[in-house]
Structure 1
Amino acid sequence: MTGTRIYSQMMLLAASATPRPTDSAVPDVQEVVDQMNSNASAEDKTSFLLEYLMAQREPLLNFGKTLLIALIVFLIGKRIIALLLKLLNRWMERSHVEVSVHKFIMSLGRVLLYILLIFCVAGILGVGTSSIIAIIGSAGLAVGLALQGSLSNLAGGILILLMKPFLVGDYIVAGGVEGTVRNIDIFYTRIVTTDNKVIVIPNGTLSNGNIINTSQEEYRLLILDFMVGYDAQISKVREVVLNLMERDEGVCKDRPQSVNIDKLNPGRVRLQAKAWVTNKDYWDVRYRMLEAIKEELPKQGISLF
C-alpha cells in the first residue's frame, strides 16, 4: 500500500510538470490515483496504467529531449568556462597582476560564470529566472543571517585587496602576531612566523585592527636593546658598538647610527643601538649584531646584564 502511495505522488508530480492536451480522453491524474487505490484487479490496474503512460508518451519524449539539450548545454558550458578561466589566468600572469588579486579574480570569475550557466540551463528547462532569483534571494538572506562573521571576513578580504595595506611577501604585525604574508584569501589571511608556524587570521579582524607593515619601505630601522652596569663608561660602550656597526656589511653606511641611554634601571643601564638596514637583511643583521655585542663588550671589560 505504501508503494502505491509513493507511486501516486510521483504520478502527480510528473503530470504537473508535463503538459497534456486538454481535448483528449486521457484519464486525469486523480483518476489514475483513484484507480491505483481501488479494489480493482492487478490486471485492470496494469491496463489502466499502461493506457495513461501511452497517452503521456509524447510529453515525456519532449521533456526528455529538453533535458538532453540542457545536459549538453551544461557540459559545453563547463568547457567554455574552463577555457575562459584559462585565458583569464594567462592574461593576468602576462600582466603581472598581484598574486592576491589574481586569486580573488579567478575565484570570483568562476562563481559568476557558473551562476550564468545555471541560469541558461534553467531557462532551457522552462524554469522562470524570476523564480530562481527569488529562491537565491531568500537563501542569501537566510545564509547571511547565519554567517554574519563570514560575511564580515569577506568584506574585510575585499577591502584588503582594494586598499592593499599589505601584499603577499610583506612582513606585518597585526592582531598580536607577526610574520610574512603567505596568502590573502577571500575569508582569511595566512602568515608565516620566523619559526615557520602558519597563523590564519580572519580578514574581518585585520581590516578592523591596526596593521604594522615593515616591508613597504626599502629600509628598516634596527633597534637593539642591551644593558650594562653603572660602572661602564657610556662613551666607550658607544664607540665599541658603533665600530661593530661600521664593520657589518648589512648596515647602511649612508644613514646615521646611534647608541644612547634608553632607561636607568636599578643596578643597570639600558642602552639602545640604532642602525638602518634593508628589509631583506634585517633579521640577518640583527642576529649578527646581537652576537657581536655579546662577544665584544666583555672583551673590552664591559659587563652585560
Structure 2
Amino acid sequence: MIGEMIMTMDMINNYGRKFLDWFMSKLGSIAIALIFLAVCFKVIKIIVKLLRKAFDKSRLDKSVAGFFISAIRVLLQFLVILTAASMVGFQITSFITLLGTAGVTIGLALQGSLSNLAGGVLILILKPFKVGDYIVENSTHCEGVVVSIDIFYTRLRTYDNRTIVIPNGTISNTSLVNISGRGTNRVDVKFSVAYESDLSKVKQVVLDVVDTIDGHMTDKPVEFFIEEFGESGIEMYVRFFTPFEKSYDAKREALWKIKEAFDANGIEIPYNKLDVNIKSDGQEKA
C-alpha cells in the first residue's frame, strides 16, 4: 500500500514538473494569447452591438435577429479561441478534422431536423405568412389559422378546432396559399338552375340575397356568371367579397338563403331523375 502511494506521488510530481517546465517555456506565448483573447472579445462585443443596432433599424423579426446575433457571437468566439490555442502551440489541425467529421456525422443523423430548422429561419425572415393568417399548404392540403411559428414546426388550427403540426422544411419547400394575407376573402357560391328558368329573374334574386349577407363588402364588385351547361341544368356562380373572418359563415349563409329565395320565387334547382317504364302484356306502362 505504501509503495503504491509513493509511486502515485512520484507520478504526480513528474507530471507537475513537466507541466511547470512547459508553462515556463510557453509563458510568453500564453501572455500574448491572453492579451489576444481579451482584445478580440472586446472587439466581438462591439461587433455584436453594431449588428444589434442594424437589426433594430431593419424590419427583421426580433427572434430571427436574436438567433443570428447569437450564432455570429458563438462563431467569432470559437475562431478566436482556436487562434489563441494555436498561438500557445496546440496542434489544432487534428482537432478541426475531428470536429468536421463529427459535424458531418451529426448532420446526416439530424438531416430532417436541420431541414426543419433552416425552413423555420426562412419563414421568419421571408414572412410568407404570420400568426393569425389562414393558409392552405398545397402538398398535404392542410389548411387552418396559423397559431404559432416555431423553429422546427408551424401549428395550424382548423375550423373544427383541431391542431395541425407541419414541419417547417415541408412548408418552405412547397407552395402555399395565404388566404387572409390581404384581410379580405372572395366567397365563391356555385349553384344550378333548370334550363326553363328565367335567367334575368335568377340573377336578380341571387344579387338581392347577396346584399343581405352579413359581412358583404358593398364597395367590392359582385360577379354573376354561367360556368357551364350541365347535363341536368345550368351551372352558375356568384362571387362577392367579405372580411376574411366572416367568409366561412358568409358562404353557408348564402347557400341557405339562395335555396329559400329560389323556393319563394318558383326557381327550380335541377337534380337527376330516373324514369322507369314497365312493359306488361305487350303494353308499356310508366
Relative to the length of structure 1, the TM-score reads: 0.62
Greater helix fraction, Structure 1 or Structure 2: 1
Q: Tell me, in whole angstroms, the C-alpha distance in 2 between the residues paired with 1:193 and 1:132.
A: 50
Q: 1:120 to 1:132 in 2, by over 3 A?
A: farther
Q: Which amino acid aligns with 1:44?
A: G
Counterpart of 2:154 in structure 1 is 189
- Out of 100, 105, 127, the position equivalent to 1:142 is 105
- Out of 211, 217, 240, the position equivalent to 1:275 is 240
Q: 1:241 to 1:132 in 2, by over 3 A?
A: farther
Q: 1:223 to 1:210 in 2, by over 3 A?
A: same
Q: 1:234 to 1:112 in 2, by over 3 A?
A: same
Q: Tell me, in whole angstroms, the C-alpha distance in 2 between the residues paired with 1:223 and 1:147.
A: 44
Query: Which SS does the other structure have where 2:131 is aligned?
Result: coil
Q: Tell me, in whole angstroms, the C-alpha distance in 2 between the residues paired with 1:128 and 1:108.
A: 30
Deviation at 1:195, TM superposition (A): 1.8
Query: Which SS does the other structure have where 1:201 is aligned?
Result: strand
- Out of 194, 219, 223, the position equivalent to 1:229 is 194
- Out of 240, 244, 255, the position equivalent to 1:290 is 255
C-alpha contact (below 8 Å) 1:297/1:303 kept by paired residues: yes
C-alpha contact (below 8 Å) 1:252/1:275 kept by paired residues: yes
Counterpart of 1:72 in structure 2 is none
Counterpart of 2:41 in structure 1 is none
Counting only pairs closer than 5 Å after superposition, residues 110-125 of structure 1 correspond to structure 2 as: 110=70, 113=73
Deviations 1:168-219 (A, max 9, x none): 2222222222222223333332222222222222333323322212222243
Are 1:166 and 2:129 matched, yes or no?
yes
Query: Which SS does the other structure have where 2:250 is aligned?
Result: helix
C-alpha contact (below 8 Å) 1:242/1:258 kept by paired residues: no
Counting only pairs closer than 5 Å after superposition, residues 1-305 of structure 1 correspond to structure 2 as: 42-53=1-12, 101-110=61-70, 113=73, 133-174=96-137, 175=139, 176-304=141-269
Q: 1:144 to 1:56 in 2, by over 3 A?
A: closer
Q: Which amino acid aligns with 1:257?
A: V
Q: Structure 1: 5+ residue runs without aligned partners?
A: 1-41, 64-80
Deviation at 1:113, TM superposition (A): 4.9
Q: Percent identity?
A: 33
C-alpha contact (below 8 Å) 2:193/2:268 kept by paired residues: yes
C-alpha contact (below 8 Å) 1:104/1:186 kept by paired residues: no
Q: Structure 2: 5+ residue runs without aligned partners?
A: 24-44, 272-286
RMSD of aligned alpha carbons: 4.1
Q: 1:50 to 1:289 in 2, by over 3 A?
A: same
C-alpha contact (below 8 Å) 1:227/1:269 kept by paired residues: yes
Q: Which amino acid aligns with 2:4?
A: K
C-alpha contact (below 8 Å) 2:153/2:167 kept by paired residues: yes
Aligned pairs, how many? 245
Deviations 1:278-300 (A, max 9, x none): 22332232232222223332222
Q: Which amino acid aligns with 2:169?
A: G
Query: Which SS does the other structure have where 1:206 is aligned?
Result: helix
Counterpart of 2:37 in structure 1 is none
Q: Tell me, in whole angstroms, the C-alpha distance in 2 between the residues paired with 1:250 and 1:95.
A: 38
Q: 1:195 to 1:102 in 2, by over 3 A?
A: farther
Q: Tell me, in whole angstroms, the C-alpha distance in 2 between the residues paired with 1:207 and 1:96.
A: 23
Q: 1:48 to 1:224 in 2, by over 3 A?
A: same
Relative to the length of structure 2, the TM-score reads: 0.65
